[in-house]
Amino acid sequence: MASVDVAAARSSTMAPMAAGTTTRVRGKAAANAVAEIFDRRDDREKFIPITRQAIMERLTRRHAWPGQQAGEARRFFRYLDYWRQQTYASRLLDLEHVYEPFSPDSDLLVTRKFTAAELADMQKRLVTQVGELLEQANFTPLDAGRIDLILTKDSYYGLDLHVDLAAFDELMIFYRGATKRSESRRSLRTLYLRKQEFDLPVFQRLCIVFKLKPDEERIRDVMKLEDCDRKEAEKIVKRLRGMLPPQIKSDYMYLKLFKNMPRTDIEMVFPNTKVRFRLFDKIKLGVTAGSGLGMGVIGTAGKIALATNPIALVTAFAGLCGVAARQASNFLNQRNRYMVTMAQNLYFHALADNRGVMTLMANRAAEEDVKEEMLLYSVLAKEETKRSELKDVDRAIEQYLLNGFGVNVNFDLDDALSRLMADGIVTEENGTLRTLSPAAAAKHIDVKWDKYLDELPDQTAGEGIEFDKEPDEAA
């Protein structure tokens, strides 16, 4: 899993080095990290951008199967679809049980108390299961040690954003669809006279999973990093935590899903993002503030020199204070414009939060699985295949998707085969893969479904203690 202590992951960048050397090394590492994601040679995704209904319709046409097997194959595929949805529904129930103590959105009565050891174990299970679910939905994990390398100040929306990664106890980022889209905008190079085209790296889907460090742990980190005493560290942590929305707490685990997120603005998805003034804005505001205050001071000094009564002095100072207040207001207004820009763009990029992310990913994972299984089964069921021939099968399926739908994907044959074998649809004998016929496969799923309820696991057994009152009262 890509979940680690991100403060440790960043330790290499915190080592004392010459400023110029650090900048060059970091710039090169960041360029390499971005190139691996957006400029890789095989840019094909495992994600199949076709509905399962469309694939089922194509695969079960009459001419695609001998005799009456087309109808039997369609029946089996429908059984398989429901079966796969049910298996993920079971995983989702277990995941929701593990997530309940960490959910920031729960409106349920708390009736179960967990020990610290149980919560720590449930947190590890939650991180593992969420990661597995996202990978089954054909998302790619971003290496935790390289997260800070893809953060950039070159914002597409014109913002200067900063994120303190050391504030997180858990942090995972997954993406799907790392592509580039053509954009155009006016720039200083063209003196803002005409638009200039450029390629914008975009994550079609971006999921972030995070949990903040407890205050005590964060204080110890700050004491070590800043080489200060506990009292000073507490002030720093209090100031940093004061920038977060009040509902963001270290007891909770947060899941956020976004769409079409520019790589240059990935900082927007973090809860502790700080908006800073760009150099251009600093210069502009500095010039206007300096000239405004300068003229105000000169004018006030002239009035004071000529003043002959107290009322004139008060009026002069009031005018100077008004100039200063106006310049301060300009700074605040610019910052508010930054915040509005960030909020508006996040609104249109957001897809789901917390349990909504888990539900959506379970549905997506089930759909991805059944699409892969239908495609692979349609090949294996029609002719005897040896394991040594699976590479040819993989290429044939990819070519079928390219010819039939115009999509170029990296078909995940091994994953699909492992599930079909686990469910008993495909077996292996002396290196040869044996596949149930469509009618037999449908009957096999029918039998498994009948046994399913008899083998349901008890998800809450042995974990936590039920109580009749609120925890404080029970104590």
Cα dihedral across residues 419, 425, 430, 432: positive or negative: negative
Q: How far apart are CA 26 and CA 13, in angstroms?
A: 8
Tell me if 89 is assigned to some domain: yes
Q: Which residue has the tokens 């950039």?
A: 152
Give residue 15's pLDDT: 39
The total of other beta-carbon atoms located within 10 Å of residue 361's CB is 26
The pair of structure tokens assigned to 65 is 């199967």
The range of the structural domain enclosing residue 71 comes to 50-103+354-457
Report the b/e string of 278-289 with b at 16+ CB within 10 A.
beebeeebeeeb
Q: How far apart are CA 461 and CA 112, in angstroms?
A: 12
Rounded to a whole number of angstroms, the CA Rg of the chain reads 30
Residues 138 and 157 occupy one common structural domain: yes
Residues 56 and 124 occupy one common structural domain: no
Which residue, 207, 209, 200, is CA-closest to 263? 200
Which residue, 428, 417, 426, 369, is CA-closest to 393? 417
Total tally of structural domains belonging to the chain = 3
Query: Mean pLDDT, to the nearest integer, of 437-457?
Result: 90
Which residue, 283, 364, 330, is CA-closest to 52? 364
Residues 41 and 127 occupy one common structural domain: yes
Q: How far apart are CA 92 and CA 98, in angstroms?
A: 10
Tell me if 252 is assigned to some domain: yes
Residues 191 and 123 occupy one common structural domain: yes
The pair of structure tokens assigned to 442 is 């449908």
Tell me if 472 is assigned to some domain: no
Condensed to tens digits (0 to 9), the pLDDT of residues 86-113 reads: 999 999 999 999 999 999 998 888 888 8
* Chain-centre distance for alpha carbon 438: 39
Confidence of residue 5 (pLDDT cuts 50, 70, 90): very low
Tell me if 295 is assigned to some domain: yes
Residues 65 and 131 occupy one common structural domain: no
The pair of structure tokens assigned to 295 is 């003229």
Residues 150 and 17 occupy one common structural domain: yes
Q: How far apart are CA 97 and CA 71, in angstroms?
A: 40
The pair of structure tokens assigned to 292 is 């405004």
Q: How far apart are CA 76 and CA 311, in angstroms?
A: 93
The pair of structure tokens assigned to 446 is 């029918």
With 60 as the cut, is the pLDDT of residue 320 above it? no
Condensed to tens digits (0 to 9), the pLDDT of residues 248-294 reads: 889 999 999 999 888 877 877 888 877 665 555 555 545 554 555 45
Residues 176 and 219 occupy one common structural domain: yes
Residues 82 and 156 occupy one common structural domain: no
Residues 93 and 208 occupy one common structural domain: no
Give residue 190's pLDDT: 61
Tell me if 343 is assigned to some domain: no
Give residue 333's pLDDT: 57
Query: Mean pLDDT, to the nearest integer, of 298-306?
Result: 52
Q: How far apart are CA 97 and CA 219, in angstroms?
A: 31
**Side-chain half-sphere of 344: how many Cα atoms within 13 Å?**
8
Helix, strand, coil in percent for the chain, rounding step 5: 60, 15, 25
Query: Mean pLDDT, to the nearest integer, of 61-80?
Result: 94
The packing angle between helices 355-380 and 52-59, to 10°, is 10
Q: Are 249 and 104 in contact (CB under 8 A)?
A: yes
**Side-chain half-sphere of 289: how many Cα atoms within 13 Å?**
16
Give residue 16's pLDDT: 38
Give residue 241's pLDDT: 84
Condensed to tens digits (0 to 9), the pLDDT of residues 158-204 reads: 566 778 888 999 999 999 988 877 766 656 566 556 676 767 788 89
